[in-house]
Chains A and B, each alone.
Chain A
């Protein structure tokens, strides 16, 4: 089995600030990897480098056989980045649904505009995915009429309708009221059980324990630990991992 995502020697600088330091990480097909770490550890930047929302300074990203190198320019590079984005779906902390489009229009926008998919076919696919996240009943509603949890479920359906090979979740429950977190995690678990490869930047230790195959811990732009959840939570090797777990224990989790 070969890796579906392969991050090799990734560096990212913001000006003189070195936020990702020679990161290498492999993710196998159908694997769910949670990335945890304190704020400023570089976990979100790493995730955003995978689909080049942040352009890596050095190193390569490989997704499903397509290799894209960071720090390049030009038309050919832009085409590679575009192809890479078609292989990845992303879910954001702030949902970022398009407020001028209904739920259904949000979900078919990608397939119709980017993939030039036939509208009827796109609607069929969108309705299937909306039903999967239990949001089909709101398909004609506008995003401002939805709760945060509902918005995020629509955002997940929107990303899935592009039929990506990998789903990237950037703190998908951090902007939600506590009582709405559960419904989003349930949907994410369902997506994982259906065999989607997932990288999830999160603070939800319960989700990491229950759903993740591996948990990656980041600190100061480096991966300090990478292990199965039971191993990581029971016997953390790094003192910083222990401190992180303690913090979550004493917090709401």
Chain B
């Protein structure tokens, strides 16, 4: 036994650590699978050891699956458009919140206060139903845009706080280094502060986007945007198969969330490169 063939202690410790993590992840994965199988079992309609499980109307599901799935695109579309609007509004509101010019500061805090002080559900109805009363021309605008406006403005107000914290997290020294190079305050903001603030804001923003895909279901209540939730309730109510319809919609929302979470984790890992 020679020392030459032995691995350094640090490497051995690292390997042991990795092995521990792998075992933990495997156990978590297996438990998830068991829980999932349990739910599937409860809705399987089988009799097992005297337990009578719930049976779903499989014919309804196969007949309406395509119709409900057809709303997936609309759900994604409304979420993407809304998050883009929310990001712009959040950035503007954050800059206003940090402004020393009273009107900008006031506009920003007023917007955030108004939006956060009223329910999202109310805001959605406001943009669909109340706004055309003031501007009749708005009634001809597709329902999608009213939904995007409502969701975007709502999330923009909440996300502005994330952006503000992100901008505040950039040290004074960064600004000074940029100014010393001869950058204008505008260039300093755009090239140095905002990129660093965005990186800080990416993880919470990813969470907001994932939350938004589910809040987009609220838009269905107005009856003009035919996304997942609207389609599920439409066929569910018409045929008294609400249970099946809602389960199908839930599976789609959950699947979408899992996919988005996966991409968010990857994005987060990518963005953390270059962090101090």
Contacts and interface: CB of A to CB of B under 8 A. Distances in A.
Contacts of B184: 82
Contact of B276 (A51, A85, A144): A144
B173 A92 contact: yes
Contact of A144 (B176, B178, B181, B274): B274
Contact of A82 (B173, B182, B273): B182
Interface stretch (B192-200, B206-214, B238-246): B192-200
B180 A85 contact: yes
Given A94-B173, A96-B174, A85 B274 contact: no
Contacts of B182: 82, 85-86, 110, 114-115, 162
Contact of B191 (A53, A88, A113, A115): A113
Interface of A: 51, 53, 82, 85-86, 88-90, 92, 94, 96-102, 109-110, 113-115, 142-144, 158-159, 162
B161 to A, nearest CB: 22
A98 B177 contact: yes
A63 B112 CA distance: 47
Q: Which 10 pairs between the two chains have the least Cβ-Cβ distance?
A: A96-B177, A142-B274, A110-B181, A90-B180, A96-B173, A114-B182, A85-B182, A86-B182, A100-B195, A99-B276
Interface residues of B, number: 22
A144 B274 CA distance: 6
A82 B183 CA distance: 8
14 contacts: A82-B184, A89-B180, A90-B180, A92-B173, A92-B176, A97-B177, A98-B178, A99-B196, A99-B274, A113-B187, A113-B191, A114-B181, A115-B182, A158-B181
B165 interface: no
Given A53-B176, A85-B179, A100-B199, 18 more contacts: A53-B180, A82-B182, A85-B180, A88-B180, A96-B171, A96-B173, A96-B174, A98-B192, A99-B196, A99-B276, A100-B195, A110-B182, A110-B183, A113-B191, A114-B183, A143-B276, A144-B276, A162-B182
Contacts of A113: 181, 183, 187, 191
A3 to B, nearest CB: 22
Nearest to B190: A113
A143 B274 contact: yes
Nearest to B191: A113
Contact of B196 (A88, A92, A100, A102): A100
Contacts of A98: 174, 177-178, 192, 196
B11 interface: no
B63 interface: no
Interface centre among B181, B183, B199, B276 (most CB of A within 10 A): B181
A17 to B, nearest CB: 19
B217 to A, nearest CB: 36
Nearest to A87: B182
B81 to A, nearest CB: 27
Contacts of A89: 180
Interface string B263-276: 00000000001111
A169 to B, nearest CB: 12
Contacts of B275: 99, 144
Contacts of A109: 181, 191
